[in-house]
Each structure stands twice: as structure tokens, then as C-alpha cells.
Amino acid sequence: MIIELNRRGHAVAVQTSFPVFYRAESIGNLVPDLIVDNAVMVDPKVVSAFTDTHVAQMIGYLNITGLDLAILLNFKNARLSWKRVVRQDKRDGANQPMSSFNFFNP
């Protein structure tokens, strides 16, 4: 996937470390698998189905990284399934429109 994204002109950061703090005290690091174009967190999985836990985890990761968009990819079955997760704007709770990022098309 990384090779194909690079071939299509996307910048891919692999396992970038983000510090995690609780009350100004470091409690560890978050290391997401992929960040594409410094805008989209990509989390490949092999699971029976996505759950609310997967979505909640991605929202937490988005809050830590400051990113607004994540894509969950499920490689469990012959047909790829995916789920888009958008961090909500804390001011009004509404999803903000995202730029037209689409790495599935050349």
C-alpha cells in the first residue's frame, strides 16, 4: 500500500511517534501505522467487522495527532471494506467539510 500511495504522488509517513500527555505529564507515545499527505491517518486491520471501539480509538488518535480524518481499512475478506472517521469540531459538534482527498483513485 505504501509503494502504491508513493507511486501516485502521496507522501506517506510510517509509524510516526506522537507523545501522549495526561495533565501535562507524559504517559507514552502513539505510533499510528500510516499518515498520508500529513492529513489522513490510515489504520489497516484484519477484523471480522469494524466496531464502535475501532471508531472511538480512531477519534482518540485524531485528537492526539491533531488530524481531522482517519480511514479504517479491513483486509479480512476478499473485498476490501473501509470506514471514514472524522474528528468533530469541538466548537459546535458538527462535522466540517473535508478537502477532496481520495487516494483510492489515480
Asked if 54 and 66 touch (Cβ cutoff 8 Å), the reply is no
Query: What's the pLDDT tens digit per position in 81-105?
Result: 999 999 986 654 444 444 444 455 4
For domain 2-86, give the CATH number.
3.90.320.10
Instruction: State the pLDDT at residue 90.
Output: 60
Instruction: State the pLDDT at residue 88.
Output: 84
CA-wise closest residue to 61 among 85, 77, 96: 85
Query: What's the pLDDT tens digit per position in 37-60?
Result: 999 999 999 999 999 999 999 999
Task: Enumerate residues 6+ apart whose C-beta is below 8 A from 55.
Answer: 72, 83, 85
> Within a 13 Å sphere around the CA of 71, how many CA atoms are in the beta-carbon half?
15
| pTM for this model (two decimals) | 0.75
Taking 50 as the threshold, does the pLDDT of residue 23 lie above it?
Answer: yes
